[in-house]
Structure 1
Amino acid sequence: MWIVILLYYLSTSWQYEANKPFLLERILFKLILQIFTAYSFIKIIVPYLLKKSYKLLFVVASCVLLYTAYVLFITFRCFYLLPKYPEVYAYRPPLIFVQRITDYYTFLTNLPGYLFPIVILSIIDFYKKEKELATIIEQQRSNELSTLRNQLNPHFLFNTLNNLYSLTLMKSDKASEVIEKLSKILDYTLYSCNSNLVSLKSEVILLQNYIDLEKLRYGNRVQIQFNHSIEKNVLIAPLILLTFVENAFKHGVSQETIEAKIQINLFTDGDQILFKVINTKPTKTAIKSSKKEISIGLTNVKKQLNLLYKNKHQLKIDENCSSYSITLKIKINDL
């Protein structure tokens, strides 16, 4: 930037000034003053006065800095350039030091030359800090998402392995099916969810594998309907939907001693994804014991939605004495 400014000064004055050494010395000293002024403003005055809300001191210090630079330039001209190059000033107005430093009109006309580099550097510094801040925020967002995406309930994994152990002891044919479903779920959650968006159809397969495993676990204790109709090439953030299905089993089935019901609907409608989960509620005693866990699960998934789909989704929760339902809408065009 400073090289460009130097070349600009030289290009605009070179053809009009016959004495080239005088021109070079004059321009170089002015450039040094501009560098001093710009970095003093950005590195000292702004962080120590403006950012600490010393607004009056900031204004005073800025004016003093600019005026000091102006006085130093006049001093250089009067006591160095004038004695060294008298022939240059022979045909110019008299250069009187006191008169020049008190000529505030001339000071104001020279201000743009000092302010321009300050403005450019301030803009560069602002965008640099904004870029650094955006990088930090994105890193924090990625870290938070990585944590929140780890939603596969450890109890689910523990219980599935217990069921698998029981099936192997009984030499049941279902053992191989459990292994297959579980391996597909783990493979997907570990290796296929690293990108921000995945195919909605792959999420359907994940949900189906999860549901099949839970069917093997609960057997006749639960009735499940999973209805879905997906258009091609629809994308969604991974594991968002699984959290709601997992909660439906965890809080609607695991503590129910009779028969529980879960209905899951997943459709694409024009420019949005429509997802709804309805599950029956267990007895009042079980409800009380799981209220806190439901709240934590919802808090996590709401954080994910706000991070990924801020102002691009609608989440509606309905609850009555016998059932619990969530309805989620996500805009496809904004994915």
Structure 2
Amino acid sequence: MGTWRDRRIIELFGIEAPIILAPMAGPGTPELAMAVGEAGGLASLPCALSSVEQAHDALTLLRSKTRAPVNVNFFCHTAPQADAARELAWRERLAEYYIEHGIDPEFTSAGAVRRPFDNEFCALVEEFKPEVVSFHFGLPEKLLFDRVKATGAKIIASATTVAEARWLEAHGCDAIIAMGFEAGGHRGTFLNHDMATQVGTFALVPQIADAVSVPVIAAGGVADARGIVAALALGASAVQIGTAYLFCPEAKVPELHRVALRESGDDSTAVTNLFTGRPARGIMNRVMREIGPLSDAAPAFPLASAALAPLKAKAEAAGKGDFTSLWSGQAARLAREMPAGELTRALIAETLARLP
């Protein structure tokens, strides 16, 4: 049986194995994080869809149940300015669906609230002092970044290009998540939003590893020991796994999403901006097929979700995911349904068995 030759992430985070639970906003729960952390990986807790109070409660629960290192994740987007013309155009594009489902086209909904990292979230970090703090869509302003750093937390963030990786290292990140195009959920882009030039994981990882001096974490398309071994061979010090954990009972995943995941194939997903206004990979459904996965009509992130919210609710009540964001990476078919702790231990054992 092999050993972990590159121990930089293991030692940096204080974990037993170089496996990081992707902090998936929505599906991510304290129970899921706890199970992965207790099994030797890095427990990750997403906060982008949480209020400060909800995040506080989740961290309180997590800290009371495990001594394992914790990664707390936040979004770093800039709140958009309201654009009445764009909102109107988006609603007009969806009007036929409103009529079909018997919903007043003038009906308004707030949609899901995705809150960027701010003073209140920073105070939460200062209170709980998580071992790792991760950011998506770049980094927060320097004052907030410095406050997080002062807690002793290791800071990591997603890069989808070499240029983004170099930027993150130059701005103080302790490790870089190399997020390949295969990854599910929101793209971590912040310098270049052109989806036509996005790079796959196994082309991106070695190029980022060559470009930066800090450890690299491979994300996207990794769901079993073969993917982990390949990522490590290409220069990654660890892997971040998301979609494979969506199949675990501890993940908060609606049944219609679970069914879609079980039926997903290698070509079942696409990158879309319809659900939030920002590109994210999910399983193709009706609205993605009929409008097209990417649309210039969709309002800026995260405002696009409001107009889709009543359609989503109506369809889900009928057991359909026609207007639901069914986030998934491209390797769902490689996943297994088992408890998160059991899955983590299996991934560790199977990877070590394959390592030289």
Higher relative contact order (CA 8 A, sep 6+): 2
After TM superposition, the score normalised by the length of structure 1 is 0.20
After TM superposition, the score normalised by the length of structure 2 is 0.19
Question: Which one has a larger percent helix, Structure 1 or Structure 2?
Answer: 1
Rg larger for: 1
